[in-house]
Amino acid sequence: MGKYVELNSSNFNDTIAKGVTLVDFWAPWCGPCRMIAPIIEELAEDFDGKATIAKVNTDEEQDIAIQYGIRSIPTLLFFKDGELVDQMVGAAGKEVLADKLDSLLRAVYPPVQLCKNENSPP
């Protein structure tokens, strides 16, 4: 079963370094953050083995929040191989987040195109 990764200053860079990572910046007192928490947990299960789903508690990890200019929460950052490629501010639905992750995964792992041999049947 997939579970989201709790990020801090010691594991943040290593976690986002490879593949696709969604990072949810949140705080315990934030109502909209609590609303999307179950969605983040579902995404962690749905994308287990395909993408990393992670969370940063901005009250505890202020340095990371400052580094990425987080001014309001929830803020969702999307990384591909350590590079910030997109962000969303505010609560978003599961379908929107899953579509974004799917599109980033397709960019990382493009579909294989098989070449047809001219002697092969149509």
Which positions are catalytic? 30, 33
| Identity of the amino acid at 4 | Y
d(CA 84, CA 22): 10
Please check whether residue 91 is in contact with residue 32, taking contact to mean a CB–CB distance below 8 angstroms: yes
Please check whether residue 35 is in contact with residue 24, taking contact to mean a CB–CB distance below 8 angstroms: no
| Residue found under tokens 């083995």 | 49
Look at residues 94, 76, 95 and name the one whose alpha carbon lies nearest to residue 33. Answer: 76
d(CA 97, CA 26): 16
d(CA 63, CA 69): 10
